[in-house]
Structures are given as C-alpha cells and as structure tokens.
Copies of this chain bind each other. A is one copy, B any other.
Amino acid sequence: MHADLTIALDMMGGDYGPRSSIPAALAAVEKHPRLILLLCGNRTVLESALEKANALSHPRLIVKHCDEVVTNTCDPAQALRNKRNSSMRVALDLVKSGQAQACVSSGNTGALLSMAHYVLKMLPGIKRPALITSVPTEKKQPVYLLDLGANIQCDPETLLQFAIMGSIVAGAALKLDKPKVHLLNIGLEDIKGHDGIKQAARLMQGCSAINYQGYCEGSDIFSGKSDVIVCEGFVGNVALKTCEGIAKLIMFKFTKALKKHLFYRSLAFLLRPVIKKLYKRVNPDQYNGASLVGLRGIVVKSHGNASKKAFMAAIEEAAREVDRRIPDKIQAAFEEMAPIEETSVRS
C-alpha cells in the first residue's frame, strides 16, 4: 500500500452511520499501518465512540467536525444546495483540496453523485461519471459492470466512454492488457436491441482503445466470458438489485426446503457457514461497494446498509484505487484519443 495514504470517510451516512463506520475505521487502521483516515461527522458522536474503543488519541484517526447529515430521503438537488457542512460534502471537499486521496460514503447515492460531480468535476473529455462494481463469475476473476445508476439513460457516446473507463478499471484490477468488453442487450444477434444500443455497438467496434467482443445477455453476466459489461444506469441498477433479490430468495427457499425434512433439518445447521459465505459472495453490492469513475478524484460508494465488514471493504477498495491511480489512467487514455478528435474537428 502507498506511503501515507489518506482517505476521507463520511461517517454519518447509510442506515447505521457511526455504528458501522467507527468499527470499520478502527479495523482498517489496525490492518493497514500507513492508512490515515479523516473521519467526517459530528465530533461529539464520533469522539464518544472512539473513546469507548480506547482510540480517541489514535494518531491516524482524525475527526473532521461537521454538524449536518445528508439523509437517505434527502433530494439530491437540495442536498447540493443546503448541505454544505454535511459529512458527505466535507469528505468530498477534502479530496478536492488534496487533503485526502479518496473518499468513502455509504450515504444517499443520488446526493453523493450530484455532490461528487459538483465538487470534484469531470475529467477532461468525459461526459458523465459512472458507477462501477465487480460481480463474481463462474471463473476465478470477477466481471466489472457499469453503469449501475449514475446515468439512467445514456447516449451511445456515453456508453462508449463507459466501455473505455470500465476497461481501465478492469485492466488495472485484473492485470489484463486487453479486458474483454461486452455490451448488455436482450439478445446476441446484430438485429437485437434499440437504435441506441446498435449505435453504441458500432462505436465500440470502431474504437481501438477497447477490446470489444459484442453483445451479451443477462444470463451471461456471471459466466466469466466478459471482463467488462456496459449498460445504461437504469438497466444496470435493476440487474444488480435483481441479483440481490434472487440471492435472498434462493437462500430463503433453500433454508426452508432443508427445514421441511427432518433429515435435511439436521444438515441445515452444518450448512449455515457455507450458505452464509455464498450469500455474501453472490451479493457483491452489499460487500464491495461501487466506485464512481470519470471524476477528478476517487469516490467509493458503500451499500446503504453496509456492515462494518462492508464499509471496511469499501475503504480498502478506495486504497487500491489510489494505488492503481485510476483517475490518472482514465485521463491519460482520453488525452491520447483527444488529439485525433480535435484534428478531425479542425480539418
């Protein structure tokens, strides 16, 4: 890990606030000796929690007081206007000013997107930020899926930019030169999908910056044939949340089926650890968090009901993205392509 890695945490966001963010912060500094965490939130609340954990004077846990909180029901536009002293906004401001190299929040996704966009600004040449996460596959390596809801509807150029950004994230994480990119559609044949999808496919086919492999379907997401899957935010959000729903249903039905038969009931107890581990693995949104890419800074969104483990996983993800210099790499990739575009515009 990077020397003196500083990450700002929105301690008050999500369903549990400091109840999960404090234990996560403690575990993170314990595990990573060079990690410095800027804890943004109500000083009284945070210091009382740190005191209880005998960590009030921890040299790498620094409280940044702010007295407002962006709640889950807060309208993003209002949060942007009125919550300038919220834990979420202060964490983003610390990234903007360079005092932190990344930030993590489990708060209101819409508000985080608006604020991050406003505070950090887009990297040059990039139209829209995207939410990206990795999901498990049948192979050893996961697949990166974007957009997950930052942009409900996307034009073809935006989908192409997502493919490029997704390739950089997946390439750095999976150590791949040419990550395989698929475009999510409702069939594999050229005639499938609406005009926007077909046009995005043509743009991707003609783009040398990515290794475009064609369409994939919902049933292919977890097969391991792709490294990056691109879709509109509405579709990606529904797909990921549907996974969450079906994973819960399967666990529910499985436990029920086991309990139904006396013979299996005795096994249910023994199987619980396997089932629990599996549930976590197939429910990645819950576990890894999602990253916002395309901005001049690193922002990781942890799940709204992130546990200590989930929030800590998001902190570690932010640290990895600092090490991997994701924003620099995205900027370099777009700068490399830009002169060609500019030339063609000028000529």
Chain A residues near B (Cβ < 8 Å): 73, 75-76, 110, 136-138, 149, 152-153, 184, 186-187, 189, 191-194, 217-223, 231, 233-235, 237-250, 252-254, 257-258, 263-264, 267, 270-271, 274-275, 277-278, 281-282
Contact A281 B267 (CB under 8 A): no
Contacts A/B (CB < 8 Å), 13 sampled: A76-B191, A184-B238, A186-B234, A218-B239, A219-B242, A219-B245, A220-B245, A222-B246, A223-B245, A234-B235, A247-B250, A253-B281, A264-B274
* A153: nearest chain-B partner, CB-CB: B194
| C-alpha spacing A138/B274, complex, angstroms | 21
Contact B152 A282 (CB under 8 A): no
Question: Please, which residues of chain B bring their CB within 8 A of the CB of A219?
Answer: 241-242, 244-245, 248
Smallest CB separation, A229 vs chain B (Å): 11
Contact B218 A241 (CB under 8 A): yes
* A73: nearest chain-B partner, CB-CB: B189
* A152: nearest chain-B partner, CB-CB: B194
Smallest CB separation, A103 vs chain B (Å): 22
Contact A246 B249 (CB under 8 A): no
Contact A152 B254 (CB under 8 A): no
Contacts A152-B193, A254-B274; is A218 near B244 (CB within 8 Å)?
Answer: yes
Picked from B222, B249, B270, the residue with its CB within 8 Å of the CB of A137 is: B249
Smallest CB separation, A183 vs chain B (Å): 12
Smallest CB separation, A243 vs chain B (Å): 5
Question: Please, which residues of chain B bring their CB within 8 A of the CB of A239?
Answer: 218, 238-239, 242
Given contacts A136-B249, A239-B242, 20 further A-B contacts (CB under 8 A): A75-B191, A76-B191, A136-B253, A137-B249, A138-B248, A149-B186, A152-B186, A186-B238, A193-B234, A218-B238, A218-B245, A238-B238, A238-B239, A243-B243, A246-B282, A250-B278, A253-B278, A257-B278, A264-B270, A264-B274
